[in-house]
Amino acid sequence: MKTKFVLNDVVCADSKTLSKLIKLNSVALTVTSPPYGNAINYSQHVKNLKSGKGKEFRGNVGGTLDDYLNEMQEIFSEVKKVTMPGGFCCIVIADELSEGTLVPLPSLLVSKLVDLKDEDEGWHLRDMIIWNKVTAGRSGAGNRFGQFVKIPVPTRYRANIMHEYIIVLQKGKKARFLLKETEPKVPLNRAMKRQVALSVWDITPVPPNAVKHPAVFPEQIPWRLIQMYTKPGDVVLDPMCGSGQTVKVANSLKRKYIGVDIRKEYVSLAKKRAKEKMMLSNFMIPLYFPVKWVDGVQSGKKSDAHIDVEDHIPKGFKIIFQKLSKDSENGTDTTHIYYKNKSGDYICCIIGASQEPYMMKLGNPKKASSPLKKILSKLPDTFDLLDVKSILPDGIPDDPYSLVSLVDVLEYEKNVKRKTRSLTKVVYEKSPRSKK
Ligand SMILES: C[S@@+](CC[C@H](N)C(=O)[O-])C[C@H]1O[C@@H](n2cnc3c(N)ncnc32)[C@H](O)[C@@H]1O
């Protein structure tokens, strides 16, 4: 009887048996993240899901480091069997924190897996990417530096851990090679180039509890790797797929997918999520804004925000000015970037700290059909943002950030003048020209 191999599906199995489920030499790329040693007790997490209780599931698995590494070696030698010659395997993994010191799981795993002698079939190390988690590492157990700040005595220094690793392995010395004449190109816009040119990638982590799995990596990771190492129609595997981020992104990018997890609760979750849309915004590289921006601590430059959105600005629009509005209570900043075309139409791109960027068409304040003109005609002589809110035309969101951007443009066009500004209230008056 012909064996029925898994394809475009997520199945419940132990990945130490992968070669029984998946056609040998068929997978172009694996993107996966194994358990990080003893860091998470997945069985306890699944029990919590069922009981609704919140029992601690971190850092209490048991088992020796050798057992762990041997299990990983078994799984990744199965991955190798199902990977095509020259295919790739990307493993997302971090050092494990154990009673104050680090267990270097990525290095230990690499030395266990890499086999330079076997030029045809051995895993070769192609890249070691650092995933800079941008916002992570400053609270809870990750806040090691906080302890040092309390007692800044020599020998007590420990850094906050802000990064993980993406180990990129290839099967055999010779990587798979696609012809430039016939193959689709990786969509490299400016933002993408800037991000992937270097071996340090800035990607914000998935917020806790956003998905019913305790160790979800952001879609941005498989999204980049799948585009770098495969073409549409290729098979992408995640042998420890958890919530199914890899299979979901692979499916969206028109690759075939295979997901495997040992726990049936995660398999049902991943099966469902494989068909869902990606959460990535339309923007090529979602911005790496932390919820709280602390100058000098964060990496990435907020002033560069426009580079990330530039490719999505309609043709003919040029950046005119940029402003920052501050929410002092939450410590968050929102950037407003204003673009204008030759006919005088404005659009505003609003890049907040906690939401995805959004764009508003504001029209031309000199044309009667423009929201700006309509607002201006209805405004009292002296007004604040609440007055603007009460006369908004349809289709303009009434959050404070949108309101600020409307008035910013009116101010820029000299239709109104800022009268006073305090942290809580901004008051404007119509300029004499616009009163006529
Ligand atoms: C770090 S999580 C993966 C999370 C996933 N990358 C995501 O974004 O949701 C590791 C997963 O490996 C699964 N796992 C552990 N040992 C396994 C094995 N031998 N075979 C298959 N899955 C396994 C666990 O159940 C867990 O869901």
The pLDDT tens digits for 256-304 are: 999 999 999 999 999 999 998 776 533 334 443 333 333 333 333 445 4
94 and 235 both lie in a single domain: yes
State the CB neighbour count (10 A cutoff) for residue 303. 9
Residue 297 lies in a domain: no
Most confident region among 29-38, 167-176, 346-355 by mean pLDDT: 167-176
For 41-60, how does the pLDDT look when each residue is reduced to its tens digit (9 = 90+)?
777 777 777 777 767 666 65
Of 25 and 148, the structure prediction assigns the larger pLDDT to 25
Tokens 């493993």 -> residue:
91
List helix spans (H) across 34-104: 42-51, 65-82
Instruction: For residue 83, tell me if it sits in a domain.
Output: yes
Q: Does residue 191 fall inside a structural domain?
A: yes
339 lines ligand 1 (CB under 6 A): no
What number does the ligand 1 atom closest to the CA of 239 have?
A: 21
Same domain, 413 and 267: no
The whole-chain average pLDDT of the chain stands at: 83
Does the CB atom of residue 42 touch ligand 1 within 6 A?
yes
- Are 55 and 200 within one domain? yes
> Is the CB of 370 inside a 6 Å radius of any atom of ligand 1?
no
Query: How far is C-alpha 403 from the geometric centre of its chain's CA atoms?
Result: 28
Cα 370–373–378 angle (5° rounding)? 130
In a domain, 231, yes or no: yes
Mean pLDDT of 140-161: 84
Residues 401 and 266 reside in one and the same domain: no
State whether the beta carbon of 261 lies less than 6 angstroms from ligand 1: yes
Which of 38-42, 212-216, 266-270 ranks highest by mean pLDDT? 266-270
Q: Is residue 280 part of a domain?
A: no
Higher pLDDT, 316 or 79: 79
The more confidently predicted of residues 336 and 12 is: 12
Tell me: do 263 and 318 sit in the same domain.
Answer: no
Instruction: Tell me, in angstroms, the distance from the centre of ligand 1 to residue 25's CA.
Output: 22
Query: Which CATH number belongs to the domain containing residue 216 in this structure?
Result: 3.40.50.150
Query: Do 431 and 309 reside in the same domain of the chain?
Result: yes
Residues 6+ positions from 382 with CB-CB distance below 8 Å: 419, 427, 428, 429, 430
* Domain end point (choices 274, 294, 326): 274
With respect to residue 294, please indicate whether it lies within any of the assigned structural domains: no
Residue 352 has pLDDT above 70, yes or no: no
List Cα–Cα distances, 217 to 154, 179, 227, 246, 361, in angstroms.
35, 31, 17, 9, 34
* Whether residue 410 has pLDDT greater than 90: yes
What pLDDT is attached to residue 283? 37
Q: In this structure, which residue's CA is closest to atom 13 in ligand 1?
A: 240
Let me know if residue 203 belongs to a domain.
Answer: yes
- Provide the residue range defining the domain that includes 216: 9-274
Residue 429, classified by CB atoms within 10 Å of its CB into exposed (0-12), middle (13-18) or buried (19+), is middle
Q: How many domains does the chain divide into?
A: 2
Helix (H, G, I), strand (E, B) or coil at 80: helix
* Residue 206 and residue 145 share a domain: yes
Same domain, 416 and 331: yes
The span from the CA of 30 to the CA of 251, in Å, is 14
Q: Model confidence over 305-319: pLDDT tens digits?
A: 555 566 567 889 888
Q: Which of 30, 241, 268, 272 to mutate to test the pocket of ligand 1 (most atoms within 8 A of CB)?
A: 241
Residue 324: its pLDDT value, please? 77
Lookup result for tokens 């020259």: 86
Task: Tell me the pLDDT band of 220, cut-offs 50, 70 and 90.
Answer: confident
pLDDT of residue 294: 38
94 closest CA partner among 130, 70, 58, 64: 130
**DSSP secondary structure letter of residue 114:** B
Q: How many CB atoms lie within 10 A of CB 311?
A: 15
Over the stretch 177-211, which tens digit does the pLDDT of each residue have? 999 888 888 877 666 777 788 899 988 788 777 78
DSSP-H helix ranges across 185-304: 190-196, 220-229, 245-252, 264-274
State the pLDDT at residue 128.
98
Q: Is residue 156 part of a domain?
A: yes
Residue 381: give its domain's CATH number. Answer: 1.10.10
Instruction: Indicate if 266 and 307 belong to the same structural domain.
Output: no
Same domain, 219 and 358: no
Q: Which atom of ligand 1 is nearest to the CA of 217?
A: 8
Residues 306 and 266 occupy one common structural domain: no
pLDDT of residue 297: 33
Q: Is there a single domain that holds both residue 363 and residue 236?
A: no
For ligand 1, is residue 245 a contact (CB within 6 Å)? yes
Nearest residue (by CA) to ligand 1, atom 12, is 240
Pocket test for ligand 1, best of 15, 58, 240 (most atoms within 8 A of CB): 240
Average pLDDT over residues 59-87: 91
Between the CA of residue 337 and those of 94, 340, 351, 358, what are the distances in Å?
37, 10, 8, 11
In this predicted structure, what is the pLDDT of residue 300? 39
